[in-house]
Amino acid sequence: MSIVVTGGAGYIGAHVVRALASSGQDVVVVDDLSTSDAGRVAGVPLHRLDLTAPGADELVADVLRESRATAVVHLAAKKQVGESVARPEWYYRQNVGGLATVLEAARRTGCDRLVFSSSAAVYGEPASGVVDETTVAAPINPYGRTKLVGEWMVQDAGRAWGLRHLSLRYFNVAGAAVPELGDPAVLNLVTLVLDHLERGRRPVLFGDDYPTPDGSCVRDYVHVADLASAHVAALDYLGRDARDVEVLDVGLGRGSSVLEVLAAVERVTGLPTAPEVAPRRPGDPARLVATARRVRETLGWEPTHDLTSMVASAWEAWRHQRDAGLEPLRAG
Ligand SMILES: NC(=O)c1ccc[n+]([C@@H]2O[C@H](COP(=O)([O-])OP(=O)(O)OC[C@H]3O[C@@H](n4cnc5c(N)ncnc54)[C@H](O)[C@@H]3O)[C@@H](O)[C@H]2O)c1
């Protein structure tokens, strides 16, 4: 009996694999290693396959059968917003097509539990900056739309053939459980700032005139180890007879502004982070913070890391990557 984790070699996936293994589960990874490397899940069975390749549904079905999978955690996806705007059809093939492959294989083999990686990007630019799962989902880019379609797909599979499913809408993920598992991508604020500092550049602040206390955008940051433990709890939830929830926001329910993140980076690294101010970017809401009430009530989940811990572990991981000679993955 095992849990199959698609995208398990990735930044978040490797943390989910680690959390499941420490909770005593056997784990099998399915990943094409397009944005990751196998070293992150050394010792864990890994099937290298592209979920969008012809015949992938049969290959995934074989993995589910052979590993006697009781559930799938589906993280495999592409996640760059700008790239999704430039290449929407490819994003739909990757994110929607990849999920269709997994659902097809799950249905064929009778594997009836699935946790889906969704995103706060489904909220777009909500009128109120504090959201919960009753807030209307209105994504403003193809990436966010592929995530919302993914939520609909797993819900439809639930109605059609009884799939037990839960979509987790991750807010801003940062940090590392151990230095070897840091975020290799320079796409989120914390790694973007570390990358700038490393290259002797000043961080860039996009907009300092938002209607927030310090004028910079406010987001909800969650430590990747806390996020991983939410997946373990989500799988337990899917084993319950009474289930009335289909989506959960996973954030701390606390907002941090860009300037507060910069101050945390300065405290942790000792490097000056005074930013260069640039104009606002289109599609950046002033504030996007979860209430995170439902995830606590439903899963009994309690995050244990604060912003300083996220930044400190991200910095440690950043230096580890640099010492290992690994190049960060910058936006393409
Ligand atoms: N990092 C964040 O802040 C964040 C926020 C919200 C949601 N998410 C979602 O979480 C999930 C994991 O994100 P991550 O940050 O770990 O990204 P990541 O790029 O590190 O991990 C994605 C993994 O999926 C694999 N993959 C991609 N396409 C594949 C395909 N066609 N077939 C097989 N494997 C494939 C990659 O090789 C990689 O290992 C994604 O679904 C992403 O959309 C991430």
- Percent of all residues in the chain with a pLDDT value above 70, rounded to a whole number: 100
pLDDT, residue 331, reads 84
What are the catalytic residues? 143
Distance of CA 108 to the CA centre of its chain: 27
Pocket-testing residue among 4, 11, 60, ligand 1, by greatest number of atoms within 8 A of Cβ? 11
pLDDT, residue 213, reads 98
Gap between the Cα atoms of 140 and 288, Å rounded: 14
- Atom index in ligand 1 nearest the CA of residue 188 equals 3
Gap between the Cα atoms of 97 and 274, Å rounded: 43
Quote the mean pLDDT of the chain.
97
- Atom index in ligand 1 nearest the CA of residue 170 equals 6
What is the distance in A from the centroid of ligand 1 to the CA of 79?
Answer: 6
pLDDT-derived band at 79 (thresholds 50, 70, 90) equals very high
In sequence order, what DSSP letters do the residues of 167-221 get, joined into one string?
EEEE-EEE--SSGGG---EE-SHHHHHHHHHHTT---EEE-S-SSSTTSS-EE-E
Residues contacting ligand 1 via CB (< 6 Å) = 7, 9-13, 31-36, 50-52, 75-79, 94, 98, 117, 119, 170, 172-173, 188
The structure's pTM equals 0.98
Question: Per residue in 95-119, pLDDT tens?
Answer: 999 999 999 999 999 999 999 999 9
Instruction: Break the chain into its structural domains and give their ranges.
Output: 2-172+222-250, 174-220+252-330
Gap between the Cα atoms of 118 and 150, Å rounded: 8
CATH 3.30.499.10 fits 174-220+252-330, yes or no: no
CATH 3.40.50.720 fits 2-172+222-250, yes or no: yes
Give the residue-averaged pLDDT of 6-24: 98
Question: Per residue in 279-331, pLDDT tens?
Answer: 999 999 999 999 999 999 999 999 999 999 999 999 999 999 999 999 898 88
Nearest residue (by CA) to ligand 1, atom 38, is 10
- Atom index in ligand 1 nearest the CA of residue 79 equals 43
What is the distance in A from the centroid of ligand 1 to the CA of 73?
Answer: 12
Contact 193, 267 (CB under 8 A): no
pLDDT-derived band at 15 (thresholds 50, 70, 90) equals very high
